[in-house]
Amino acid sequence: MLRKPAVAGQFYPADKQEIFDFIKRATVDIQPKSVMGAVLPHAGYVFSGEVAVTTVARIKLTPTVILLGPNHTGMGKPHAIATEGAWQTPLGEVEIDNALARHLIGISRYLIDDPSAHHFEHSIEVQLPILQYFKPNIKFVPIAIAGSAPAAYTEIGQAIARSIRERGSPVVVIASSDMTHYEPHDIAREKDFKVIDSILELDEDEMLRIAREYNVSMCGLGPVACLIRAAKELGANKAELVDYRTSGNVTGDFASVVGYAGIIIRAEELHPVVALAKQAVDTFVKERRVIKAPADMIPEMKEKAGVFVSLHKGHELRGCIGTFSPARSNIAEEIIINAVHSATEDPRFSPVTAWELPDINYSVDILSKPEPVADESELDPKKYGVIVEAGRARGLLLPNLEGVDTAEKQIEISRAKAGISPDEPVKLYRFEVKRYKQA
């Protein structure tokens, strides 16, 4: 089956040379890099085409891409794939990757083969000529997503990730979406950046929450939520805003605009210290097995020191356990054991589950040897952590924590953690940390 263009001559030129000329003018001279996904706008090229082109120019496109777009027409099933044939554009035909599309249907309980959802939908079509320009023989899998429950987005994202893993070769996942629709420029920009910030943090639940709370009329919330979940399942840990504009930048009318964002999502190599903590937790949660220290450990891991490993999910702490002073043969072993304990034995939280792993961020603090101080005047909550000690009771607080701005507050929290009363005499110690954080 050959799908004919539905919006050529409307959203983008119907003439091949005009498309080439437009993309050449908009293309930036930059080295493309491997990415796991991207967010691209889908308005007419005159409004959002430059944002889309400058974003795609930064992507090392894979032979096949998955294109997720919102369903503006209301036709067809709410989560619809087209599995057969090709789509025609002025630049030629783009073949559907039938094997990948069929595999997705086989592993997702939401996705259904329904080409009718795509007959007149523009959100995916407008991306194809840009992708063809940069990779002429590209194949794709089109998925139209109507408004749905977050659980559906999660399942579809997980199915996409699984299908790519089982395929054994990378596939870039692209979500097509415009941002706020038809509001004054300043309001649109303010709303859009609240959403963009959550996308850059790879937090699809927060994105959906913000969109509800601030009534953000972003048409591709579902596709972007699916993309974020898929990218995280595949190991993405970094998102970058390439460009943001509104229609007002083109028309000069800022009274009622539509926002357009170009975003890329990729995997940034973790520092070996953070990577070891992540590997320890992933392995234990999935396999109930404690990994061994790496044979080729970096110099920092060969030393001895106290280590704290903190787990965060979004902005919330998800576990933090550590050792005040060395308890094992080297720092690598401290990281492994404390990472596992943070995920499974912090009494404040239930154990981390396998489905949470893509959302967990890691921070590892390697402690210097504590030194005694006479009083709080020798403390600095941004530079030093603190230990309070009364008999056998000891409480520790790491330095440079959000909301802890005074030495008094440090001591108060440390007392509470150790069960030491506010008026009980204590010995004070300070220490510094070398902090390794997941970006």
pLDDT tier at 1, thresholds 50, 70, 90: confident
* Whole-angstrom distance, CA of residue 170 vs CA of residue 192: 30
* Whole-angstrom distance, CA of residue 328 vs CA of residue 306: 9
- Which pLDDT score, from 0 to 100, does residue 42 have? 97
Summarize pLDDT for 242-284 with one digit per residue, the tens: 999 999 999 999 999 999 999 999 999 899 999 999 999 999 9
The fold for domain 2-266 equals: Protocatechuate 4,5-dioxygenase; Chain B (3.40.830)
The percent of residues in the chain predicted with pLDDT above 90, rounded, is 95
- Which pLDDT score, from 0 to 100, does residue 27 have? 87
Q: Which of 313, 316, 330, 428 is nearest to 372 (CA)?
A: 428
Q: In this model, does residue 147 exceed pLDDT 90?
A: no
pTM tops 0.75:
yes
Summarize pLDDT for 89-135 with one digit per residue, the tens: 999 999 999 999 999 999 999 999 999 999 999 999 999 999 999 99
For residue 322, what is the enclosing H or E element? strand 316-322
pLDDT tier at 439, thresholds 50, 70, 90: low
Residue with tokens 């043969």: 329
- Which pLDDT score, from 0 to 100, does residue 30 have? 86
What CATH code is assigned to 270-364? 3.30.700.20
Q: In this model, does residue 56 exceed pLDDT 70?
A: yes
Neighbour-count burial of 419, counting CB atoms closer than 10 A to its CB (0-12 exposed, 13-18 middle, 19+ buried): exposed
The answer to whether the beta carbons of residues 105 and 44 sit under 8 Å apart is no
Phi, psi of 38 (to 5 degrees): -155, 155
CATH (one of 3.30.1490.150, 3.50.50.60, 3.90.1150.10, 3.40.50.800) for 368-439:
3.30.1490.150
For residue 292, what is the enclosing H or E element? none
Where do the structural domains in the chain lie, given as residue ranges? 2-266, 270-364, 368-439
- For residue 341, the one-letter residue type is H
- Average pLDDT across the chain, whole number: 95
pLDDT tier at 148, thresholds 50, 70, 90: confident
Residue with tokens 């943001």: 244
